[in-house]
Amino acid sequence: MDDLTLSERLRQRGVSRRGFMKFCAATASMMALPPLMIPKIAAALEKARRPSVIWLSFQECTGCTESLTRSHAPTIEGLIFDHISLDYHHTLQAAAGDGAEHAREAAMKENWGKYILVVDGSIPLGEGGNYSAIAGISNLHMLKEVAEGAAAIVSVGTCAAFGGLPMAKPNPTGAVAVSDIIKDKPIVNVPGCPPIPTVITGVLAHFLTFGRLPELDHLHRPKVFFGQSIHDRCYRRPFYERGQFAETFDDEGARKGWCLFKLGCKGPTTYNACATAKWNQGTSWPVEAGHGCIGCSEPRFWDAGGFYQALSVPHTKVGETVLTAGAAGLAIGAAAAVLNRKRKAGAVENRETITVKDLSKES
Amino acid sequence: MDANELLAWARGPGFDIALIIFVAGMLLRLLEVISLGKKPDLSAPRGSGVEGGLRTLLARSLPRKAVFDREPLRIINGYVLHLGFFIVLFMYGPHIALFQSILGFGWPALPSGVIDAVGAITILSLVAALVFRLNNKVMRFLSTGGDYVAWAVTLLPVLTGYLAYNHLLLPYTTMLAVHLLSVELLMVVAPFSKLTHMFSFAMARWHQGYKAGQRGVES
Amino acid sequence: MSERVVVDPITRIEGHLRIEAQMNGKQIESAYSAGTMVRGIEIIMRGRDPRDAWAFVQRICGVCTLVHGIASVRAVEDALNYEIPANAQLIRNLMIAAQYVHDHVMHFYHLHALDWVDVVSALQAEPKATSELAQSLSSWPKSSPGYFSDMKNKLKTFVEAGQLGIFAKAYWGHPAYKLPPEANLMAVSHYIEALEWQRDVVKLHAVFGGKNPHPMFLVGGTPNPIDLESDSAINANKLALVQSIIDKMRVFVDQVYVPDTIAVAGFYKDWFYRGEGLGNFLVYGDFPSAEEGSNLRDPMSWWIPPGAILDRNLDEVHEVDLRAGGEVQEFVSHSWYDYEGGKEQGLHPWEGETKFDYKGRGGPDTPYKQLNVEDGYSWLKSPRWKGKAMEVGPLARVLVLYAKGDEATRGLVDSTLSTLGADKRALFSTLGRTAARTLETKLIADKMQDWMDSLMANIKAGNTRTFNEKQWNPSSWPKEARGVGFMEAPRGGLAHYIVIKDEKIDNYQAVVPSTWNAGPRDGQNQPGAYEAALQDNHELEDPQQPVEILRTIHSFDPCIACAVHLTDEAGEEMLQVKIR
Amino acid sequence: MSAPSVEKGIQFIKAQIDAPIASFFSACVHCGLCAEACLFFTETGDPKYTPINKVEPMRRIWEREFTLFGRLKSAVGLAKPVDEDTFAEWETLVYDGCSLCGRCSLVCPVGNDISDMIRKIREGFAAAGHAPEGLIGASTRAVEIGSPMGVKLPAVMAQIKHLRDNTGLDVPVDAKGAEYLVLLSSMEIMNFPEYLEAIARIMHQAGKTWTIASNAFEATNSGIQIGVSDIARQLVLRVVEAAEGLGVKTVISPECGHAFTAIRWDGANLIGRPYKFEVKHILEVLDEFVGQGLIRTEGMEEARLTYHDPCQIARKGGVVKQPRNLLNRIASNFVEMQDTGEMNWCCGGGGGVSANERADELKLTAFNRKKAQLQALGVDTLVTACANCRLTLEEGLEENEMDIPVVGLTEMLAEYLVEDDKEKA
């Protein structure tokens, strides 16, 4: 029974070959793979026993899970029924309490070394890790324990990937990212607050298809989704290039879809696929909805200055700084001026009258 | 410190520090100059000093043929450099946003493509300025370490801005942070280098022009 | 025999919740509700730009992904006495309502249903009989025998594959499951359908806020401008999409959600008589009228008005003033915090202060088996209204609307009760709470059309304003201001308190529905709503499989990340721990 | 009175630094364009003659004394010193290599008045004992004898007598209440007596009362050239006292560049009060006379000629159009040099250079500029309005074996003057 392949399972469940290939094609296009790869994806998926996925939720808001449920290709139901075995996931799993913990332990035991560990949420190290516990076990401890048997770790969301909101200054609980703790496992970061659903599923699909993680950038993000900045792919980019900016919300520029740079858009420094993949099955995305990108997939974006301050504008109170500096300059300058006047007056006063007799050194 | 932290620092404390040094330093420098005073001219005026001061303030921006004919390339390059710098500084949308945040008002931006091209030209012009400085015997003779520092801190913002805009060399965020830091370096260095001329040139022109105006001579 | 039953993690909720139940035989004698995760968001809020606050606090919770954003912008707008364009108010109402409909349906099917529905039992169902059952409930088109036959096959393959995934280790076959196989199959089918449906209807948030989860908000209005001539604004296409979503919501609620609730409830009528607990209900109010220039100062005019019901007395609705010092207070007698003026003190949120004091308040080192319930045992505080523990949420809202004589509410509640053969007392129960959620979903889904119509009328009349720039610039703000932004989140009344000083946040406090409901005991040993509900007539058939606890806890739709919040001076002393 | 010393020199330079000087230093960007305007650089090709470099010692003193950054620099020993060696090294740049022509000031893009700075730095060099012997001698003679060339009153009186004998025209001396006080430069007395004759004829024709002062006939001011304000004041004061004593309305500065600068622009500032009379350059007066119809000319010089603008009169004195008005009346073949008017090239002998024998060779090198200008034009005659220029030009032309006569404009005008008396006679 356990040895049934995916394609066999699908056929049993009345999923047509065509439907299956459609999914494979969607996966391929999402990951920017050539059509030639579709049969390979199909072959890989067909062979697979649904891999076990253990999803640990730490200091999180469940937004990442909510985002996952919005995935339309593959769908959440497709994913959990056909492609993965989601063996532990607080928000979705039926079992609770000991039952839930047993499910986790069983999945680990049965799939040791093979399961995928997905983490959302940061891990608090303050107060001995007591700031967050599940079943009486600290997040830190649980992460280490589950990571040990994982084939790979997917840090979903900016909290797990980079520390996220809990790590925002002053980081009250000493929150850290998964990669700050686990050093000996392949980790792929899927940041975003939350991440784009198809990006989460796309990474899982890539792993299922090829048995390895997609190519990652220096922040361990899959290049295929995080290789370009929002700004570079933004449909409003031409307005930026033309120097046409919305000056405030609901002004003429805003209505015409001009660039939101001046309203604080962090698109230029944000690497994510929002501008191309869009959200909610291509319905829209923040910039399309008239609000600048807040940079939610970038490390420490919470502390990167005000969301409504243009990237080129300092996020401190420049006016006050100028006044302070002006006052300081006037004070130092006044002191220097007094000194200069004194020196100058001294030089003029001490200046002796010169007669022709004083001109020659020899004289 | 990762790129985002660096950028946050450059947009926060870094900018504040630089701005304080720039504003306070420049005020200090200007007050140092002004405090030395100037005696009134008792000779019978032939014209208006104020008129002459204002005229020179503007007219000196144009070269005299006598010297232009001798050094056309250097003078043209000087224009390209200054105009390029000003266009990039004052006509690029994101820069305007910065001035808007300080001044409370903005102005229309030029298309980024124009800024990009002007930026490239400005960089070339700055490189040319260095070549002139190294090759022209007068400039080489006059040059001190300060001249090369001033050149470098002027080039860096333009260069890093260009690299950032075109996504060259470093990841954008890092390059943007480096760009801001280079601007801050410029702001820190400016009051203590010949870059004070950005303000003191006006005083200098005014003084010469005022005197010329009083005498009814051209300047 | 005295036994401590511990359920940790409570799954199919938002966040980290632990329930400890002290048993007296099979009966729960006393229950303890503990939030076991803290982030310290309110510490993080300090010194930030109030206009940015919504994005931070929105991340309190990604399930009720909208509510904190709304409460936050309202708090800032209240502090600044900021007038909001009518369109923005209508758009916000539509977004809040969409959140309700989406969230309640997902809660029912994906978080709550498996407490009542035995997935494995569905394998025994007869597709044809299931179809007949479904067709007897509504005219939902997907109720054919073939459809249910496909669903059954799908489920069968899944179960037989031996990888149960999210359905593993649950309490299948537990005697508390009472539904016949056909009802189970229908519910499981709708579980999957609802997953698909919810994906579509959240697009309403994407239209107005760019994405869901965590749509974008804006102090002073809404970010997306309205311009019928623009391809990059709310235009005719997008409005049509919104209208279609409203239609889709109403059809699903009317034809699937409401009938399913009634059908399932019919098999569990014993749950109409347990799991209530406090008998005190609190509503903050929501859905402001949308006249041009209206602000938030007159909540009595809102569609859901604020009010409090005490001791199940529907004859009197008490007035509620969130600003008044003696009304809303938070206590930390059994929380892992300390107060400057002593742990027995109650503080109004504007004066709110808290200090992490995990060890000092008896917090055990991990790993632990049991919490020290005599001392602190939760990261949640204990909010009280005039000193009383209160329940908030759909039941509270339905009761207040009912008590205030809202016609639609009365009609719907009375007809549902009569269908089920129950009286009004049945509302005060675990199942009453679940039913109230369903009924309010219908009320709200219906109401959405009114707001949509008003929005369209405004646009037709040429009023497309969505943002008021007047107080956008912080230099226009008073030196010091404080405000409260409140709303009714799906889980209950939510209030954000903000103190603004010198254009920055000086203090930020959220008094959150799940804090009311899931909070621990107070100094008078008054239990919180969860605790009281679990202590209300709960017999566990099998303490190893405490499905009864899940039913009652899930009937509240816990949202624990929301519930854990704090304000703190000690934050600065915290070491920033970082492993490299 | 203490002996000249480095300290004294520095002290004097410090006393000269005012807001304009400080603004000039703080604005300099070392662009080097001033060199291109300076004939000492263009003709030698030696960058040390770059005008702004000539005031480097002053810059060092300014930076060290009047800027915070400079004080810090000198506190940590990074500041370049100003010492005996500095003065010795820069002496030839400050005196020999600059004619105070002011051309550099006009081309400086930031507006630095470099020639004014050099004028001021000379105060310190003089005080430090680093003024050239030639200028010291001239100054001593000016103070002690009354004229830098040692011309005494009897020499003037002899000329007057000679003039009276030849033309019958009188030159009033010490005539109280005359409208004009005419000043002479000692060079005119010694080398160009035609000037006095021309004045006498023109004044007579114009019907103006005029005089020369027996105790202040000398217009030149060595104090200005050597850069000692005390001496300059002493010399100016002679003229002022004489003019005010005689009650003249207008003092006429002669065909001498720096004399005009001294009496017209610097005088009032040196004595610390405005004058009670006007000062005009002779060309201004002549142009007025012509303009008012007081004098007329007849006939035209046909030789191809050009006009050399004396720096102090044209560029620094604003007398540019007057000589042209006059020339156009009396010359049919007047051509302009390429750089002319306020952008003229100096003859090379201004600013005390001609009085500084040490600089003779450099002066002649600098003359190459003028030589080239003249060769380009191919003129027969060179007209100017400064005795010092005239002498320098003649010297240069002679050295280069160029046979071009140099003529004073006033004399030339007098040649074409319509003299009613004569006609009548």
pLDDT in tens, A131-152: 999 999 999 999 999 999 999 9
Q: Hey, which residues 146-175 in chain A have their CB within 8 Å of chain C?
A: 164-166, 168-175
- A337 with B112: Cβ contact below 8 A: no
CB contact under 8 A, B113 and A313: no
Residue A323, chain B, CB below 8 Å: the answer is: no
Cα C377 to Cα C362: distance, rounded to the nearest angstrom: 8
pLDDT bin (cut points 50, 70, 90) of residue D374 is very high
pLDDT bucket at A34, cuts 50 / 70 / 90: low
Out of A314, A329, A338, closest to residue B12 by CB:
A314
Interface residues on D facing A, Cβ-Cβ cutoff 8 A: 1-4, 8, 11-12, 14-15, 17-18, 65-66, 68, 126-127, 129-131, 133, 136, 139-140, 143-144, 226, 228, 230-231
pLDDT of residue D407: 93
Query: Which residues of chain C are within 8 Å of residue A280 when distances are taken between CB atoms?
Result: 199, 202-203, 205-206, 211-212
H helix or E strand, kind and range, residue A53 = strand A52-57
Which spans in D168-220 are helix H? 186-190, 194-206
- Chains touching chain C through at least 3 C-beta pairs below 8 angstroms are A
pLDDT at C575: 35
Type of residue numbered D159: Q
CATH of domain D146-292: 3.40.50
Three-class secondary structure of residue B146 per DSSP? helix
| Among A residues 120-139, those touching chain C with beta carbons less than 8 Å apart | 124-139
Average pLDDT along chain B, 219 residues, taken 10 residues at a time: 89 94 95 94 94 95 91 95 97 93 91 95 97 96 96 97 94 94 97 95 96 91
Q: Which residues pair with D406 in a beta bridge?
A: D382
Q: Which residues of A touch D150 (CB under 8 A)?
A: none
Phi, psi (deg, nearest 5) at residue C251: -65, -45
Chains in contact with A, counting 3 or more C-beta pairs less than 8 Å apart as contact = B, C, D
Using alpha carbons, select from B145, B151, B147, B154 the residue that is nearest to residue B183: B154
CATH architecture of D305-415: 3-Layer(aba) Sandwich (3.40)
Residue B39 domain-assigned?
no
Closest by CA position to A89, among listed A119, A112, A50: A119
**Type of residue numbered A339:** L
- D27, D30, D37 member nearest B201 (Cβ): D27
Neighbours of C135 (CB within 10 A): 13
Please, do chains B and A touch (3+ CB pairs < 8 Å)? Answer: yes
Task: Find chain D residues with C-beta within 8 A of A340's C-beta.
Answer: 66
pLDDT given at position C376: 95
Task: Give the B:D interface size as CB pairs under 8 Å.
Answer: 178
Is residue A256 within 8 angstroms of chain C, CB to CB?
yes
Position D29 pLDDT exceeds 90: yes
Interchain proximity A356–D127, CB inside 8 Å: no
Task: With a cut of 90, say whether residue A25 has pLDDT above it.
Answer: no
Q: Does residue B34 form part of some domain?
A: no
| Residue C96 to residue C490: CA distance in whole angstroms | 9
The CA distance from A140 to the nearest CA of chain C, in Å, is: 10
Cβ distance of B95 and A312 shorter than 8 Å: yes
Cβ distance of D144 and A356 shorter than 8 Å? yes
Residue of B42, B197, B215 with shortest CB distance to D27: B197
Q: The tokens of B116 are what? A: 């990009």
Taking CB atoms and an 8 Å limit, are A269 and B4 in contact across chains? yes
Selecting from D130, D133, D228 the residue whose C-beta is nearest the C-beta of A354 gives D228
A108: closest CA among D143, C322, C169?
A: C169
Which residues of C are designated catalytic? 14, 61, 64, 68, 491, 514, 559, 562
Chain B residue numbers with beta carbons less than 8 Å from the beta carbon of D31 are 74, 78, 139
Which residue ranges in chain C fall short of pLDDT 70? 1-2, 292-296, 354, 565-580
Where do we find the tokens 């997008």?
Answer: C238
Task: List all residues of chain C from 522 to 541 with a beta carbon under 8 Å from chain A.
Answer: none
Q: What is the pLDDT of residue A44?
A: 60
Q: Do chain A and C touch: 3 or more Cβ pairs under 8 angstroms? A: yes
Distance CA A99, CA A102 (A): 5
CATH of D6-131, one of 1.10.760, 3.30.70, 3.30.43, 1.10.1060: 1.10.1060
What's the CA gap between D257 and C84, in Å, rounded?
Answer: 78
Say whether B209 and D110 touch across the interface (CB within 8 A). no
Cα distance from A40 to chain C (closest Cα, Å)? 24
A116 pairs with which residues across the strands?
Answer: A53, A152
Q: Which chains touch B (3 or more CB pairs under 8 A)?
A: A, D
Q: Do chains D and C touch, with touching meaning 3 or more CB–CB pairs less than 8 Å apart?
A: no
Lowest mean pLDDT among A191-195, D109-113, D166-170: D166-170
pLDDT score at A363: 44
| Alpha-helical runs (H) found in B60-103 | 65-68, 72-91, 93-103
pLDDT on residue D1: 55
How big, in percent rounded to 5, are the helix, strand and coil portions of chain C?
45, 15, 40
Strand boundaries in D243-359, DSSP class E: 250-253, 278-281, 305-308, 334-335
Nearest-CA neighbor of D117 among D21, D13, D261, D223?
D21
> Which residues constitute the domain of residue B156?
3-27+46-215
Contact C367 A169 (CB under 8 A): no
∠ Cα C546 C551 C553 (to 5°): 95
Residue A2 one-letter amino acid = D
Residue C494 token pair: 């939510």
- In this complex, is the C-beta atom of A332 within 8 Å of any C-beta atom belonging to chain D? yes
What is the number of alpha carbons within 13 Å of residue C543 lying toward its C-beta?
15
- A338-344 contact pairs (CB < 8 A, 24+): A338/B35, A340/B32, A340/B35, A340/B36, A340/D66, A341/B35, A341/B36, A341/B37, A343/D14, A343/D65, A343/D66, A344/B36, A344/B37, A344/D14, A344/D15, A344/D17, A344/D18, A344/D66
Q: Quick one: tokens of A77?
A: 């139901």
Every domain of chain D and the residues it spans: 6-131, 146-292, 305-415
pLDDT at C567: 36
In sign, the C-alpha dihedral spanning D130, D135, D136, D139 is negative
Is pLDDT above 80 for A23? no
Cα C558 → chain centroid: 7
Helix axes B145-165, B172-189, angle to 10 degrees: 150
Confidence of residue A45 (pLDDT cuts 50, 70, 90): low
* A286: nearest CA partner in chain C: C210
Q: Tell me which residues of chain A, numbers 344 to 363, contact chain D at a CB-CB cutoff of 8 Å.
A: 344, 347-348, 350-361
Which residues in chain A have Cβ-Cβ distances shorter than 8 Å to B37? 341, 344
Q: How far is CA C351 from the centre of its chain?
A: 26
C320 Cβ neighbours under 8 A, 6+ residues apart: C282, C283, C284, C285, C306, C307, C308, C327, C385
Q: Please tell me whether the interface predicted TM-score (ipTM) of this complex is above 0.90.
A: no
Query: What is the pLDDT confidence band of residue A207, given thresholds at 50, 70 and 90?
Result: confident
pLDDT score for A29: 63
Say whether pLDDT at A48 is over 90.
Answer: no
Give B180's contacts (C-beta < 8 A, 6+ positions apart).
B7, B10, B11, B14, B15
Q: Are C388 and C521 within 8 A, CB to CB? A: no
Distance CA D280, CA D254 (A): 9
Q: Which residues of A touch B16 (CB under 8 A)?
A: 314, 316, 321
- Tell me which residue in D67, D111, D279 faces B56 most closely, judged by beta carbons: D111
Q: Answer whether B98 sits within 8 Å of A322, measured CB to CB.
A: no
In chain B, whose CA is at the least distance from the CA of D37?
A: B67
Going by pLDDT thresholds of 50, 70 and 90, the confidence category of residue A7 is low
The answer, yes or no, to whether residue D140 has pLDDT greater than 60, is yes
E strand or H helix that includes residue C481: strand C480-489
The pLDDT value given to residue A2:
43
Contacts of D63 in chain B (CB under 8 A): none
CATH code of B129's domain: 1.20.950
User: How many angstroms away from the CA of B120 is the closest CA of chain D?
Assistant: 22
At residue D304, φ and ψ (nearest 5 deg) are: -70, 120
The tally of domains found in chain B comes to 1
In a domain, B36, yes or no: no
- Complete domains list, chain C, with CATH: 4-327+386-573 (1.10.645.10)
Are D146-292 and D305-415 equal in CATH topology?
Answer: yes
Contact state of A250 with C221 under an 8 Å Cβ cutoff: yes
Q: What is the DSSP letter of D395?
A: H
Contact A136 C52 (CB under 8 A): no
Of C114, C169, C358, the CB nearest to A130: C358
Q: Does B164 fall in a domain?
A: yes
Chain A residues within 8 A of B7 when measuring between CB atoms: 269, 304
